[in-house]
Amino acid sequence: MKEQTEKAGAYCARCPVREACADYVIANDFRDGIWGGLTVDERDRLAREQTDLA
C-alpha cells in the first residue's frame, strides 16, 4: 500500500492542477484516495491548519 501511495504522490507532483485538486477535495471532504498528491491524513491536517488560520 505504501508503494502505491508513493507512486500516486509522484504522479500528482507533476500535475499542473495539483494545488487546485487538493483545495477541491479538502473543501468537499473526499475520504478516499490520493488527490492533489495528498493522503486522507495529509488533507485532514491541512484542513485543520486552514481552519486554525481563519
Report, as an integer, the average pLDDT of 47-53: 87
Instruction: Report residue 8 as a C-alpha cell.
Output: 500516486
- What's the pTM? 0.83
- pLDDT in the model for residue 50: 86
Cell 488560520: give the residue. 53
Number of domains in the chain: 1
Position with higher pLDDT, 51 vs 36: 36
Would the pLDDT of 42 be above 80?
yes
Are 36 and 19 within 8 A, CB to CB?
Answer: yes
> Structural domain of residue 31, as residue ranges?
2-53
Are 10 and 30 within 8 A, CB to CB?
Answer: no
Would the pLDDT of 54 be above 80?
no
12 three-class SS: helix
Give Cβ neighbours of residue 46 (< 8 Å, ≥ 6 apart).
22, 26, 38
